[in-house]
Structure 1
């Protein structure tokens, strides 16, 4: 049965701002409380989607979540009408207000973990939304994420949806940013690799500077819920030193596609030995492309987001790397990618650079903006029957006009107290659900 990987990218929301909320995310901290350009951010993300669509790759669109999160503010004691709630929070708890305005749902690599039907005992595509307990601004997201995924992937004969894992650090789950899949072909049963940073085992190594976000217990729970076939799952630990260096998710230092794993030697706690574990779990050859510290330092790898590039299969079987422009301007990153492309031993034949600087300044590169979903043809057709989320030229044109009409060119921290921002955001999202044929998915639409 034919199957293809679809990149479902998150649209950047109208309240995109730099609040520096993510602990351990160096780029977000460095740009905290500076001015953002939501319009430019959304257009940059949309342009990336369009480029992949033009290359013949199926590309999906996921809507942003509604912000500010008024319900969160009410739960902690702010009362009255919505404008009053925002005004009170701006005066008494500005950091909390910034969290409730965060557009972090744009990084849908953290939205969920997805297992294709080829990997599961019941042959269904399984979804588990991430619970995201380590950061307040992200912990708000799971209910809306679940509702959106259930709306788009709605046919029960093809899709199985699970609730987010219980909240708390024991089952801390940050989604597909810590999940990789290796296979010969997307239609074949693959090896699902769950990468964790912490576990309940007190003797396990832990980072000293920044918190580890993904737990082993969450990885194990998801593999059970998804009914991963016997022998087709592997649990490996992130390097604590890499987390302390700023690799808050595995996808900051590693990316996979089909039978290729591109990674930095500092990514995993087992170092190079991880290649032996992976190779032993696969009955087909795996091509490992490892960057050493002498080729590109871990500091440069994190600042350029080289390994947060997208590694993509092109029509015809070749692969390409879609890297942030920061890699092009960094000698070590650019030279490393040039060597990868020139090496005939691997299927990567080209590299392209994409401008995502608005996202990068908040600590999210090309791979952060997409959730990978492998779908058989019948499953893909089920998605297209229920919504209009697969990008084509008409949808691109409409979304571009929608962004240019509804998004501000600048948001600075004081702007979050502006009651007009709430109204502008809701007007935009109300129009978006009509464009994407999603119906009423936001709470404000149901009141």
Structure 2
């Protein structure tokens, strides 16, 4: 079978790495891919995955390439191509594509649609209101004492949420998004949610037209700095599983979120095939949905796929055929940790072309896999090309062992200005030190 993966970041490297292990996959492409993806060996067939020099958002060029090369399955990684309708486009030309259609992708592409859907169908979430007028938005934020999350309605590369703890912060956030338009048209409309307190975790579920297969928990670290300080990023590290929910509590959380979501989709005629990724806040009143995403998280994908024991190709093909109910997800009992190494200046402006050393040395540590996110290949060596450069991922029998391996690997990798968090999983470690049940 021939497979095309759309995207070029760490999530897509993890998808390619896992798909390359399937005995069904004999040819594997990634558009546009990255320098690490181009070196992933195939278990079946010969050679490695191949990168296609087509941008993930250039839908006409993607369709032209796919029409000429006829992949048996196209796997869409990022949110923007989904929101632009790449799955609809491919399907209309007889090409099998995995991921939600443009209509179903609204759960991520529009924070307002998602918030109102949750309210219509009784999905536990924060109290919120939507605005097109900045003055009205500021007045609402004042009723919350400025303790709120200000969210751009449209897609913003993971940077469309401002968490505010006072009215001046809230006023600045609203003006940045709605008046100064720092995120362009994404900030024309905003959702303002009451600020929820608790521990934030990531849930995922693989979905077809009727079935949903829940994943274990993961926890992302969105802030740039240790102790959850600094600006929001696309994610600086993650681990799975987390200790914060028992199996029974996790099942109850999925029941309270997934069941009404599925019922709502059926009631509104939304056919969803892909991954639903709700961000959850564990509050004293129970789990609350912060937002929905409609693709694998990044860097959650890196820790999930290093634990997943199923053949990913078989699962994704089953999802396109509405046959997921015949499958049961199998997970390694090991813990997986991903540490993101980023360029100096990220999430703002950053330098490109810095040589990277030590990746092979890092991967000699047992249980370590280095996923590439923003890398290139120049003059016989890896160089930096993006803000998030590498996702250094390690598995171990427990969280401390996985963390120790991951940070040992990070210490062996060098590039100018490399920055990373040194406290990934700090909340889990504090939880365990306090003797609280897993």
User: Quick check: which one's helix share is greater?
Assistant: 1
User: Quick check: which one's strand share is greater?
Assistant: 2
Higher RCO (Cα < 8 Å, 6 or more apart): 1
> TM-score, structure 1 length as denominator?
0.28
> TM-score, structure 2 length as denominator?
0.28
